[in-house]
Amino acid sequence: MNKVLLLFLCFPFFGYTQITSIPDANFELALVNLGYDNFVDGYVLTSNINSIDSLIVSGCFIESLEGIAAFQSLSYLDCSSNSLDTLDLSNNYLSFLDCSGNMLTDIDMSNHLNLQTFKCNHNNFNQIDVSANTSLLYFECYKNQLSYLDISNNEFLTELRCNDNNLTSLDVAGIDMYVLVCDNNQLSTIDNLGDNVSLKHFSCSGNNISSLLLSAHPQLNWLSCSNNNLSQLDISNQSMLNYFFTWGNPNLNCINVNDIAVANTNWLVWNGQSGNIDAHHYFSTSCLLSSVLDVSSNKELISIVNIQGQKTNVSENVLLLYTYNNGSIEQKIILK
């Protein structure tokens, strides 16, 4: 009789106490270490986790976040540097997500209408849909396999880091970012870059860009455009530019600036060493610039300048730059 009574008394506890299955032992161990569970046994009391608004479980060797749906109040999730190959967040409503450093190939972000920060770098994504995330401010998706990125709905975006992908096009129309990093892609141009008038940090090295006319970006502080196919570069409106790198552009000669002396003082060296620009680059206030490069076989010599941008006459054994009326510039050394 006593045994029957004991079973009866225990029945209400198991009947009304909800539990959430946590199959991944490392995920549950992280919850134990955070004080949300007592020991690793495959489940956690739902009441211990359903009011949590922030969860940081980075670098915990987690392979599955099954059970995350029960974290109904969660708005901040950092699950970076684990071994996740799937991530189902369809029952969560996040404003911050860092899932970088995993093995993810697909993710559905359509449910997170208040998402402001999204970091998913160092994964295996070949596409990411952020069209529903209209509140997005900060977006990192570098070191994936993206060949296309549509950010046309993310008009409040202030920082985008999409470097080290396979992007062949990037349109930033209607967006006014402070930071744009798109190095090491396959871009030949960045469409509507002029819309980003507040741009302060711009890095586009390692692409196929042929022309950068940056008069629309007077607040630019950092510019890295090395290893491209530049033949035109205008930084004459960049009075606030402190960091400038344009080496590795063999087709670029004349760099248009507002003040040659200031340019030579500030941008010929970096950290006390030469290397900001190629040896054949020079600064001038009168580079011939055009939104459409004009190539013509009929050309007339306009001026001759030395590598400091100073007008000069023909001299022997000195590298000089010859500017022609079709916009082309040639390097010549007349040997004695």
At 35, list the tokens: 């004080």
187 in Cβ contact with 165 (< 8 Å)? no
**Dist CA 45 CA 28 (whole Å):** 11
**Dist CA 328 CA 289 (whole Å):** 10
Q: Which residue has the tokens 């404003």?
A: 95
- The confidence score (pLDDT) of residue 275 equals 64
**Dist CA 200 CA 5 (whole Å):** 73
- The confidence score (pLDDT) of residue 118 equals 98
71 in Cβ contact with 58 (< 8 Å)? no
Dump pLDDT digits (tens) for 188-212: 999 999 999 999 999 999 999 999 9
Which pLDDT band, with edges at 50, 70 and 90, does 298 fall under?
Answer: very low
Using a pLDDT cut of 70, give the percent of the chain over it.
80
**Dist CA 53 CA 77 (whole Å):** 9
**Residue 319: helix, strand or coil by DSSP?**
strand
* pLDDT at 143 exceeding the cut of 70: yes
Q: Within a 10 A sphere around the Cβ of 295, how many other Cβ atoms?
A: 8
Dump pLDDT digits (tens) for 208-240: 999 999 999 999 999 999 999 999 999 999 999
Q: Which residue has the tokens 């000195």?
A: 318
